[in-house]
Every structure is written in C-alpha cells, then in structure tokens.
Amino acid sequence: MSRRVAITGIGLLSPAGNTIEEFWANCIEGQSGIGLITAFDTSEYPTRIGGEIQNFDPEAYLDPKLAKRADRYCQFALAAAHMALKDAGFAGLAPLPEELRQRTAVIVASGIGGMKTFEDTHALLLERGPKRVSPFFVPMLISDIAAGMISIETGAMGPNFAVVTACATSTHCIGEAAQKIKLGQADLAIAGGAEATIIPSALAGFSAAKALSRRNDDPKRACRPFDRDRDGFVMAEGGAVLILEEMELARRRGARIYAELAGYGASGDAYHITAPRPDGAGAVLAMRWALEDAGIEPSELDYINAHAPGTQDGDAMEALALEALLGEAGPSVAVSSTKPIHGHMLGATGATELIVCILAIRDAVVPPNINCENPEREFGFELVRDGPKPKTVRAAMTNSFGFGGHNAVLIVRAV
C-alpha cells in the first residue's frame, strides 16, 4: 500500500492577493484582480488587460543578491516557497533540519520561463553587443532554475526537477512530487509553479493566436467561463507553492494538515498543439485516473475547480468531459472556475487552483464562477454562479489542460 500525502503549507502571490487570506477573501467575494496592464505601453495591442501582481518587493522575501540574480518568475517562486515553508512550520528559505534534507524533493517550474530576462537581454545584445550580456542570462532564463535555487537555499537534496507542460505545469509538478512521497522516494516535497509573462512578446503572441479576451473596456468582467459570450482568457502572473509530507511524518511533527493529496491523473489529448480534443476524451482519462488513484467514485466529489479559462473551445470541451465523468451524479457536484478572479496564471495556475480546493475544504464554502451571466447551455452539473455556496467539501478536484494536449488532475480530501 502506498504512503499517504499530507499538505502542510501553502504560499501564494496572485493578482487577487499576496497572502492566502487576502486571496481567499477575494475568491469568496468574487472580487477580480484583473485590470489594465501597467507594466508597459499596450496602446497598440488588441488586448490591453491582464492580472498583475501588485506591491511586490522581492527583497521582503529574499536576500537582495539572490533577488537580483533571479528572473521575475523565479522571484515569485522563491517568495511563494518561503511563505509555504513558514506556513508549514519551517524557517522559510533557510536550511531545513539536517535529517530531512536528503529526503526532500523540490519540483517547481514555469510554463515558459524567464521571458522578461530573454526580452531585456536580446534588446541589450542588439543595442550594445555580446560583451554586455550577463553571465547570469542562461540561469535566469531556464524553467528549472526555480527548483534549483529553492534546493540551494533549503539544502534539499532529494529528487529535484521541473515539469514543463504549459498551463498544466504546476499541477504536474505537484502530482509528481506526491508520487515521490507515495513511492517512498521522498518524505517531504516543495512543489508548485510560477509565471511572469506580462511582457510585450507574450501579450503579442497570445493576442496573435486570438486566445485572449479583448474586453479592454471592462477588465474585471472580461474572463467569462462557461458564458455564451466568452471571448478568451486573461493572462496573469504569480507563483504558488505547496509543502507535501508523508502523513505520519506530518503527524509526528505536529504539523497543521490542510488536507490529503489523494489522487493524481495525467493524460495526453493526442490531437492538436493548442486546441483541446473536442470530445474531452483526454480530459476524462486524466480525471478517471485521478479518481482511481484516490480510491473514490465521481459521486463522492463535492467540488470541482474547472480549468475553464473562458475560451470557446476549452470551456465547451471541459463541460462535455465533466458531464461524461459525473453522469447522474452531476447535479450534486458544485463546479466553478476562479480564473475571472485571479486570471490565467499559466504555469502557476494549477497550484493556485489546488489552493482554492484546499481552502474550500477548510472553510466549507465553494467560490463562485463570476461573470457567467448567460450560461452557454444547461449543464449536467451545478455551476456555482450567483455567489459563494456554503457546502461541506470532503473531496475536491482541480483540472489543468495545457497547450500540446497535456492534461493533469489532482484530488484533495479532508483529513
């Protein structure tokens, strides 16, 4: 029998708040963190809105020298890891107890990596030549360096790698970290993701792909999951990291246990580089495997945090997949997407939405799917639209679907 996995720490930076309680209050109240982009001039872009982190000072979490050698995405990852470790009863980004170091995994990644570093360095190269390129350029750019830097700061010497699967990145990272604990290859894990793509090239690229909402005159109502008038997702930045522990270790430490990470499923669509498989077959596979891993039936789910980014094809696919999975149990299962509140944080979004599920269990309430004023159709599940829904949540599931057909699903349950 595999070992059980406890969640004992959470840390997060998001457009909806830089602390867990601020973030959660905004989720419950339906207060969106989306606004007009301020990081650069967007006047020539078809999309001018996004989810930016406000009032972030990396030196509040990191040594100034460390902060200067980290891309913005990595600063988010390090800060979120610091918060999660402190939340779990450790000393933040400081060496772990000696007896845990060789048994601690670090699996943290970014879906795209240090794009701002790339943009800035390329401009410098063209303007001033190759001698002006920093020796830290490559380490700051790559998607695995957050895991490496967290390991260096904490002394964690267990499995250390990055899973890069676009919008499913942090979900895969957490799932793989849980597997390491279940298989006895680690006792503790620091897992999650971060992204910092509010930059000209990313905005231009996603705009060219017609993936982004263009409701520039109404940013907070732009992301509209499951609404018939949805016109794309809203890109956001941030970082989210969780601390996972073998259940008996957590109990011996006297740690506060938020929930058990009970199930993980992953699949591929085998269909298209950006579009989801229309019939949802790949998504259904991942959800079924996560349920099998958790040892529960679809009818035992109380809440599902949908990936639903507000795109026409993505939302339609997921609705079909959820109906196929849930069947007759659908009307008793509460479903919502929280992306209208925190935006689509790409490589950080899965970990962020897992935190939503954990807090729904803690506080017995399901956050609303705001901005769905005209549902596309009648769904075979309960879409929570008009406000938070008080509900005892014993088991919750979160879905993540990334470009390339990468599907990842996590299930948490009350302890």
Cα 394 to Cα 78, 260, 363, distances in angstroms? 31, 10, 11
CATH topology of domain 263-413: Peroxisomal Thiolase; Chain A, domain 1 (3.40.47)
pLDDT at 153: 98
5: helix, coil or strand? strand
pLDDT at 2: 74
Residue type at 339 in one-letter notation: K
Q: Is the CB of residue 191 less than 8 Å from the CB of residue 242?
A: yes
CA–CA–CA angle 35, 36, 42 (5° rounding) = 155
* Alpha-carbon span 226 to 378, nearest angstrom: 10
Q: Please state whether the predicted TM-score (pTM) of the whole model is above 0.85.
A: yes
What token pair was written down for 209?
């792909």
| Residue 252 DSSP class | H
Domain ranges of the chain: 5-259, 263-413
Of 380, 405, 347, the C-alpha closest to 170 is: 347
Alpha-carbon torsion 64, 68, 69, 70, what sign?
positive
- 5-259 and 263-413 in the same fold: yes
The residue whose two tokens read 């549902």 is: 375
Alpha-carbon torsion 347, 352, 355, 356, what sign?
negative
Query: Which residues are known to be catalytic?
Result: 167, 307, 344
Cα 99 to Cα 93, 103, 155, 248, 341, distances in angstroms? 17, 8, 11, 15, 40
Residues of the chain with pLDDT under 50: none
Cα 287 to Cα 95, 199, 223, 282, 397, distances in angstroms? 37, 33, 24, 9, 8
Of 153, 245, 191, the C-alpha closest to 355 is: 191
| Exposure class string for 4-21: b at 16+ Cβ within 10 A, else e | bbbbbbbbbbbbbbbebe
Helices and strands in the chain: count of H runs, count of E runs: 14, 15
322 burial (CB, 10 Å; 0-12 / 13-18 / 19+) is buried
Q: Give the mean pLDDT of the chain.
A: 97
Q: Is the CB of residue 403 less than 8 Å from the CB of residue 273?
A: yes
Virtual CA dihedral for 280, 286, 290, 296, nearest 10 degrees?
Answer: 30
Q: Is the CB of residue 65 less than 8 Å from the CB of residue 152?
A: no
CA distance from start to end of the chain:
18
CATH of domain 5-259: 3.40.47.10
